[in-house]
Amino acid sequence: QKEVEQDPGPLSVPEGAIVSLNCTYSNSAFQYFMWYRQYSRKGPELLMYTYSSGNKEDGRFTAQVDKSSKYISLFIRDSQPSDSATYLCAMSRGSNYQLIWGAGTKLIIKP
């Protein structure tokens, strides 16, 4: 079983919909949780970064961490075609530990 599980999709939704992307993990020691966005033929770029539990909001994006359930989510409000990309979750135990990556979910926003 992988340490981090992420549904690869693709997830296809109409423009304007609320999108929910999720990862589950097995290692309770993870403390740092990240979401990266990767456009086609580009490298991943950091989208959201959360330490420990709770919510973090940045514009149309909200990241949630539920450590009791070992579950993290990324919500995208008012989704746009430009949000079409692969979204990767990543997490680590601390700054001296390596990131553990999900497989990535391909998201398609239809105009």
Partner 1 sequence: DVKVTQSSRYLVKRTGEKVFLECVQDMDHENMFWYRQDPGLGLRLIYFSYDVKMKEKGDIPEGYSVSREKKERFSLILESASTNQTSMYLCASRPSGIGGEQYFGPGTRLTVT
Contacts with partner 1 by CB under 8 A lie at 6, 8, 32, 34, 41-46, 49, 51, 88, 90, 92, 94-95, 97-99, 101-104
Q: How far is the CB of 76 from partner 1 (least distance, A)?
A: 20
DSSP annotation of 98 reads -
Please identify which residue in the block is written with the tokens 């309770």: 28
- Smallest CA-to-CA distance from 52 within 82, 69, 30, 81 is with 30
Is the distance from CB of 74 to CB of 61 less than 8 angstroms? Answer: yes
By beta-carbon proximity to partner 1, the closer residue of 17 and 24 is 24
By beta-carbon proximity to partner 1, the closer residue of 40 and 68 is 40
Name the burial class of residue 68, with classes exposed (0-12), middle (13-18) and buried (19+) by CB atoms within 10 angstroms of its CB: exposed
Q: How far is the CB of 84 from partner 1 (least distance, A)?
A: 17
By beta-carbon proximity to partner 1, the closer residue of 17 and 92 is 92
Q: How far is the CB of 108 from partner 1 (least distance, A)?
A: 16
DSSP annotation of 109 reads E
Q: How far is the CB of 95 from partner 1 (least distance, A)?
A: 5
